Structure 1
């Protein structure tokens, strides 16, 4: 069993999706996005990056990193999807640090950053978001109620020149950034915040 902060194994030329988040807790909606983006982008692997804590969110209800990594590994049964908390070991707080490190330390891999439409809507609030968009291609997956806000967001408008049609999604991993795709598809109404709220209500 790999350690909590171990980087997953990979090989030269692999097309790897990066799906970051608090996963507090992980749920079937997250797994749906992972499976759909892997299929649509024709990825070889997907790495779930369980963050020490989102700088834009309240951490008062944040479960310990090790618990969140183990829960994600227990829920995911696809051997091509690997879960790691390596950002904590590296001391990374921001996504730009993570993508810069992976882009340079594993330069012969083809990474794609994956996010939900709700994240695209707020992407302009991320630290050095332009640097992220200029480092890796990005795949955005539709989320219930977020499409209009996401596609009209500051980041989407600023990056409009780099958007490709979803029918061309398989080539995304090979494109030079800034390049991104908006994927429509099956959606789940589950949310981590709603799950936590329901748990509070029961106690």
Structure 2
């Protein structure tokens, strides 16, 4: 089963939350609602990846992860998509370039956790991402110190918006990023798999 490409229009602000979602859980849903609110997004897309190139063991089948994501995230402004599988992209930079070609005039914002910011400089073409797409970083209270020591945060310190400017994140030229603290739900895909709460076919 394949899902339709999301429909949107030029001028809309669309947040992008990428990952394997293996499985999707309430933590993903929670940060999605927070991102919509904090960063002034018109909508948010979950980019359910075919697989993580950094992991040796593949995730559960894409169709199963897509179905689970739709069960977990029932929100009128959140869309679940297999865009990466359709576009044939493996890395975030490739996916962003393909999205920009497919949706001219849409303002995309990349959403990620502080843990990803800490190792962001290991991502392929991470500087291209930073230079072309605003980034919204969500973190548990207390993670600010670790994020402050991230290489990407240090190099692009000049492009950081203060938390009170978060609503304006999409309305300016990259590089620009914003770090906000949000209460987090203590659940992870790894823990769910470890306790046998997710069937891997």
TM-score, L = length of structure 1: 0.92
d(CA) in 2 for partners of 1:149, 1:143:
11
Of 147, 172, 182, which aligns to 1:175? Answer: 172
d(CA) in 2 for partners of 1:44, 1:178:
21
Of 89, 93, 102, which aligns to 1:105? Answer: 102
1:125 corresponds to which residue?
122
Q: Which runs of 5+ in 2 are unaligned?
A: none
Deviation at 1:33, TM superposition (A): 0.7
2:130–2:175 Cα contact (<8 Å) kept: yes
Q: How many residues align?
A: 199
2:149 corresponds to which residue?
152
Where in structure 1 do 4 or more consecutive aligned residues deviate above 2 Å?
A: 3-6, 57-60, 143-151
TM-score, L = length of structure 2: 0.93
Answer with 100-109 or 67-76: which moved more. 100-109
- SS of residue paired to 1:115: strand
1:114–1:139 Cα contact (<8 Å) kept: yes
Give me the CA root mean square deviation.
Answer: 1.9
Of 81, 96, 100, which aligns to 2:93? Answer: 96
Instruction: Map 1:1-150 to 2 at 5 A.
Output: 4-60=2-58, 62-143=59-140, 146-150=143-147
Deviation at 1:145, TM superposition (A): 6.6
1:103–1:135 Cα contact (<8 Å) kept: no
d(CA) in 1 for partners of 2:56, 2:191:
15
Of 180, 191, 203, which aligns to 2:188? Answer: 191
2:141–2:181 Cα contact (<8 Å) kept: no
1:5–1:88 Cα contact (<8 Å) kept: no
1:45–1:81 Cα contact (<8 Å) kept: yes
